[in-house]
Chain A
Amino acid sequence: MNRRELFTGTAGNAACHAITPRGAQRIPNVVMRTHENRVVRFYDDLIKDRQVLINMMYATCEGYCPVITMRLVEIHEALHARMGRDLFMYSITLKPEQDDPAALKEFARMHGALLPGWTFLTGDAYDIDTLRYELFRHDHIKIDADLDAHAGQMRIINDATNRWLHVAPMASKMTVLQHIAWADPPKSFEQRLEENRRLQERIDQEVELYGYRKVI
């Protein structure tokens, strides 16, 4: 109850300034180990107040994991200016018992994914299960019990604004980038008006070219 009262006191301020990040209410603050063998707390050190991209993988996964990792490298390339500054990528192993930091680092190296702002994570198997459930659950027992069920998804979180999105990394690069942008820090009204104007220009160009609104 105390906490609620505390929130009440700040509700007015919250409306005029920033909202309270709620991620801590769902994201377990578990202890994890990075591919650099650094010990981190998942929420406090990696998520809090940040915009992040999270996916799940394991080093020996041969199906779509390498394909997805390649796609993530492309995404990193497109957003490299922001990576490690206001945008972070986390790849969490689904098989912590076989993926120690060294194995993850080797996987990252092999896939050209040793890049700034991109951290591979391992940890306690039980903790990772909890994380997987909280980040990717569908509230459906059959899906949520299936380990592989989450390797093909990417969670996008902006903790500062409580935005949770998800996208299939195998969607088009343009779409993945757009989804990430949907979780970007809010823009000023003028900025959004300007974006709206530019979008209209692109629509008009398409209509001129093809006779209708084709892609944009």
Chain B
Amino acid sequence: MSHQQADLGKTPGAAPSDARDGLDRRTVIKSGALVGAAAIITSKKSQVLAAGAPWPAPPVLCGTTTPTSPATRPFIDNLPVPPPALPVLLHPFPTRTANIAAGEAARAAHQRWSEFLPLIHYHMTAAPSLHKHHTDLLPSYLWTFNGHYPAPTPLNYYGVPSIVRFRNALPEQQDNPTFGVSEITVHLHNGHTPSESDGFAADFFGPGLFKDNHYPNVYAGVDEFGGIGDPREALHTLWFHDHRAASTAHNNFLGLNGMFLLYDAKDPSHELPTPGSLRLPCYYGITDIPLILADKRFCPAANGRNEVFQVIGNNPVVGDKWIVNGKIQPKMRVRRRKYRFRILATGPVKAWSLSLIRSDGTQAPVTVVAVDGNFLPSPVVISDRPLDVQVAMRYDVIIDFSAFPAGSKVYLRENAAQNVGVAVPDPAPGLPIGNVLMRFDVVNMDFLFPADTPPIPSVLAEMPDPIVPDGVFQWNFTLENGRFLINGQEFDHNRIDHVVLKGSSEEWVLANDVAAGNWNHPVHIHFEEGFIMSRRRRVSQNPDVFEDVPLLPEELGRRDVYPLPPQHRVVMRMRFRDFSGRYLIHCHNMNHEDDFMMVRWDIVDSLEELTRKRREIDERRMLAGLPPQYKHGGLV
């Protein structure tokens, strides 16, 4: 009944609809019965289901021949900023154990629930909706959270625990013509999150169900430091995205991701001179702007749509349009003052190589203050090389537009050219239009706009105490017989490849032994931020000789994505504190991730359990004819 009525050209996000109606109707349609529907009703007070009925008609895919995207004129659309997520009061009220009767997906009980009772509730509904990537394009069918691409941004504070109810209102698989899989599990990258809320890849749930992810919003080190942990472990720029095993690339390509910010006294949500504040540009959407990058390819106009191009199979295609916050080549008016941009590459695969270009073609400086959301020890000015942003990395950069005269244009350049399709003279000498990601139009300050922030402090962060590792472990990222493997195996969500003790710390060696010129892997480790201790590159194979690669200044802080080029060894250290359970390491090139270059590792609570589990791992290895992984019967 509903789909025939759907208005092809209308963006459903515009009209608020009642959550109860939307879900009720949908459930009735899909299940043909009221039994289940009654169980998963949400309150009228819950956040508006922006993508509620009528659902956009499903896309008509445009064949198998890779199209060239339609022409789009540069700098037509203004840069949008994802709206802040609106807190709601969830009904049924969140519970420590899974509320199966109400349609919550199965999970273990929330850890440290009463200690970190969630004070802020959000409702994020994954549903189809239409999104216009450019004025010159017709809408495209995407999967979005609350009807927005990118998703609304939760703005959270350390010490104020929150809970996000992720509801799956995607089409049933038999009604799903896309190549995404309508089952989701959402990971907050890289929250210090208890396992059952961490979006483990195999914990996905289908349409009609929901899952409450509990975000304690504490710094790592709660047990050690008390209260809400060690403030030196703060990270401020996070993002959340679907992590569905074997379909993360497609589901993210379709739009299931967004940013997530965490504030504290040092990095508050304002620029006022409060105690401890670094006073960086920090008004969300005004002087503190997310730049969420993606690449897409569009089909020719048909049925009132320019659908995103998809092919059957496991890997989404590479785009020929560069997208910033959901728009192609947008422009942004900026005042002559400092701005903070939080750059995020959402993949599935594309890495970005960004530089800021003046209208005379020269490169202008940007100041990196944070990598992967972590403040660097001191700011790093980049003016003679591009910024390398691989999938899932975040770079917080400060650009001081007071360095440019009013009326000037400044361009964000990406090293690879996109297809614009309109003949436009080079905006700056040596800068073809295809390489321009977006444009900044500099205008004078006016008295209504927040005054400029003080100079960037020369010291941004005190690093946590050095990690003295309790053990050493190596992860080998290899390519064997066409399979992307870690330690010789593909991801098996039932198999534990390494166990660590809660409260301990380890040194991990990440090794990429593929031939030079082959794959680089942006390796992501869930749960806590780590330190790169050293980086080495193999210079000869027989004998094995490595040379030290000096760390870049932006590699000196804490991080959660570790770029691993061929023949490299990254030695990193991290701690495992406060929570236990199942966690992941994976290559964040989502095609590799979906090809299962991913492992499960567990954090356990007791030494006894550690010994038992390590023994089990070694027994399994022995049966498979492999040498034991641990010494002394599992005791390290």
Binding site for B on A (CB under 8 A): 3-4, 7-8, 11-12, 14-20, 22-23, 25-26, 136-140, 142-144, 146, 148-153, 160-168, 170-172, 174-175, 178-179, 182, 185-186, 188-190, 192-193, 196-197, 199-200, 203, 207, 210-213, 215-216
Chain A residues with Cβ under 8 A from B60's Cβ? 4, 7-8, 11
Q: What chain A residues lie within 8 Å of B179 (beta carbons)?
A: 162, 164
Interface size bucket, B side? Answer: 35 or more
Contacts of A143 in B (CB 8 A): 479, 482
CB distance from B602 to the nearest CB of A (A): 8
Taking a contact as CB atoms closer than 8 A, the residue among A7, A17, A190, A200 that contacts B100 in the complex is A200
Is there an interface contact between B27 and A189, defined as CB atoms closer than 8 Å? yes
- Segment at the A interface, from B201-209, B362-370, B436-444, B534-542: B201-209
B93 to chain A, nearest CB (A): 19
A148 touches B481 (CB 8 A): yes
Bound Cα distance A164, B595 (Å): 12
Contact, CB under 8 Å: B495 / A190: no
With A143-B482, A171-B490 already in contact, the answer to whether A26 and B315 are too (CB < 8 A) is no
- Complex Cα distance A143/B478, Å? 12
A151 to chain B: closest residue by CB: B481
Chain A residues, CB < 8 A from B595 = 138, 166
The residue that B4 contacts in the complex, of A12, A19, A161, A179, with Cβ under 8 A, is: A12
Q: Name the distance in Å between A149's Cβ and chain B's nearest Cβ.
A: 3
Top 7 A-B pairs, shortest CB-CB distance: A149-B482, A189-B31, A200-B106, A15-B3, A199-B106, A213-B108, A168-B490
Q: Check A196–B105 contact: CB distance below 8 A.
A: yes
- Residues in A neighbouring B315, C-beta threshold 8 A: 138-139
Q: Which of B168-176, B219-227, B328-336, B350-358 contacts A (4 or more CB under 8 A)?
A: B168-176
B450 within 8 A of A: no
Docked pose: A138 CA to B597 CA in angstroms: 13
- Contact of A211 with B172 in the complex, beta carbons under 8 Å: no
Nearest-CB residue, chain A, relative to B244: A182
Partner of A203, one of B31, B106, B175: B106
B63: interface (CB < 8 Å): yes
A144 CA to B175 CA, complexed, in Å:
32
Q: Known contacts A19-B174, A22-B312, A200-B98; decide if A152 and B483 are in contact (CB<8 Å).
A: yes
Q: How far is B493's CA from A198's CA once the two chains are assembled, in angstroms?
A: 18
A214 to chain B, nearest CB (A): 8
Give residues in B with beta carbon < 8 Å to A. 1, 3-4, 27, 30-33, 35-36, 39, 57-58, 60-64, 98, 100, 103, 105-109, 171-177, 179, 181, 195-196, 202, 205-209, 246, 302-303, 311-315, 479-483, 489-490, 492-495, 518-519, 580-582, 591, 595-596, 604-605, 609
Q: In the complex, are the beta carbons of B103 and A193 less than 8 A apart?
A: yes
* B30, B61, B103, B173: residue with the most chain A Cβ atoms closer than 10 Å: B173
- Could you list 6 examples of A-B contacts with CB < 8 Å? A11-B303, A14-B58, A138-B482, A139-B315, A168-B596, A200-B107
Q: Quick check: A168 and B483 within 8 Å, CB to CB?
A: yes
Q: Is the CB of B173 within 8 A of A18?
A: no
Query: A165-B314, A197-B100 are contacts. A190–B36 as well, Cβ < 8 Å?
Result: yes
- B580 to chain A: which residues have CB within 8 Å? 212
CB neighbours (8 Å) of A20 from chain B are: 177
Q: Considering the chains assembled together, what is the distance between the CA atoms of A151 and B481 in angstroms?
A: 8
Give 7 new A-B contacts, CB below 8 A, not counting A161-B176, A189-B208: A146-B482, A153-B482, A153-B483, A167-B490, A189-B30, A200-B106, A211-B609
Which residue on chain B has the smallest CB distance to residue A179?
Answer: B246
How far, in whole Å, are A148 and B483 apart by their CA atoms in the complex?
11
- Neighbouring A residues of B58 by C-beta, 8 Å: 11, 14-15, 19
- B contact residues around A163 at 8 Å (CB): 173, 181
| Least CB distance, B406 to chain A, in whole angstroms | 47
What residues of B have a CB within 8 angstroms of the CB of A188 in the complex?
31-32
**Contact indicator A22/B482 (Cβ below 8 Å):** no
Asked if B206 and A192 sit within 8 Å, CB to CB, the answer is yes
Given contacts A175-B493, A193-B36, contact A150 B100 (CB under 8 A): no
Q: How far is the CA of A14 from the CA of B60 in the complex (A)?
A: 10
Establish whether residues B482 and A136, one from each chain, have CB atoms under 8 Å apart when the complex forms: yes
CB of A3 to closest CB in B, whole Å: 8
Choose from B1, B30, B246, B591 the contact partner of A165 (Cβ within 8 Å): B246
Q: Which residues of A contact B62 (CB under 8 A)?
A: 4
B195:A18 contact, CB within 8 angstroms: no
Most chain A CB within a 10 A radius of its CB, from B39, B174, B495, B604 = B174
A164 to B483, CA, bound (A): 16
Check if A18 sits within 8 Å of B174, measured CB to CB: yes
CA distance A216 to B202 in the complex (A): 10
Contact between A12 and B3, CB atoms less than 8 A apart: yes
Chain A residues whose C-beta falls within 8 Å of the C-beta of B36 in the assembled complex: 189-190, 193
CB distance from A164 to the nearest CB of B (A): 5
Report the bound CA distance from A182 to B64 in whole Å.
25
Q: A161 near B609 (CB under 8 angstroms)?
A: no
Q: Are B209 and A192 in contact (CB under 8 A)?
A: yes
Collect the chain A residues with CB atoms within 8 Å of residue B63's CB: 3-4, 25
Distance of A166 Cα from B440 Cα, bound (Å): 44
Residues in A neighbouring B311, C-beta threshold 8 A: 25-26
Other-chain residue from A172, A179, A182, A186 in contact with B174 (beta carbon distance below 8 A): A186
Q: Report the minimal beta-carbon distance from B218 to chain A, rounded to whole angstroms.
A: 20
B-side contacts of A170, CB under 8 Å? 489
Specify which of B109, B209, B482 is in contact with A150 (CB 8 Å cutoff): B482
> Of B35, B173, B314, which contacts A161 at CB under 8 A?
B173
Return the contact of B482 from the options A152, A171, A189, A215 (Cβ within 8 A): A152
Complex contacts, B206 vs chain A, CB 8 Å: 192
Q: Which of B33, B202, B312 has its CB near the most chain A CB atoms (within 10 A)?
A: B312
Residues of A within 8 A of B61 (CB): 7, 22
Nearest A residue (CB) for B582: A213
B31 touches A186 (CB 8 A): no
Which interface residue of A153, A175, A189 has the most chain B CB atoms within 10 A? A189
- Please measure, in the bound complex, the distance between the C-alpha atom of A197 and the C-alpha atom of B107, giving whole angstroms: 10
Q: Which residues of A contact B494 (CB under 8 A)?
A: 172, 174-175, 178, 215-216
Query: A149 near B481 (CB under 8 angstroms)?
Result: yes
Give bound CA distance, A160 to B176, whole Å. Answer: 11
Closest to B315 in A: A139
Report whether B492 and A162 are in contact in the complex, using a CB–CB cutoff of 8 Å.
Answer: no
Are B4 and A213 touching (Cβ within 8 A)?
Answer: no
Q: How far is the CA of A211 from the CA of B107 in the complex (A)?
A: 14
Q: B420 → chain A, closest Cβ, in Å?
A: 24
Docked complex Cα distance between A3 and B63 (Å): 9
Instruction: List the B side residues contacting A215 at CB < 8 Å.
Output: 494
Q: Smallest Cβ distance from B248 to chain A, in angstroms?
A: 13
Contact, CB under 8 Å: A15 / B175: yes
Interface centre among B30, B36, B179 (most CB of A within 10 A): B36
* Across-interface contacts of B246 in A (CB, < 8 A): 165-166, 179, 182
Nearest CB on A from B150, distance (A): 26
B313 and A26 contact, CB distance less than 8 A: yes
Of chain B, the residue at the smallest CB distance from A185 is B174
> A190 contacts B57, CB within 8 Å?
no
Given A200-B100, A211-B605, A213-B581; A190-B31 close (CB under 8 Å)? yes
Query: How far in angstroms is the closest Cβ of chain A from B67?
Result: 12
B132 to chain A, nearest CB (A): 20
In the assembled complex, the CB of B586 is this many whole angstroms from the nearest CB of chain A, namely 15
Q: Which residues of B contact A22 (CB under 8 A)?
A: 61, 312
* Contact flag A196-B205 (CB < 8 Å), given A8-B303, A172-B492: yes
C-alpha spacing A8/B301, complex, angstroms: 13
- List chain A residues, Cβ under 8 A from B591: 138
Q: Which residues of B contact A15 (CB under 8 A)?
A: 3, 57-58, 171, 175
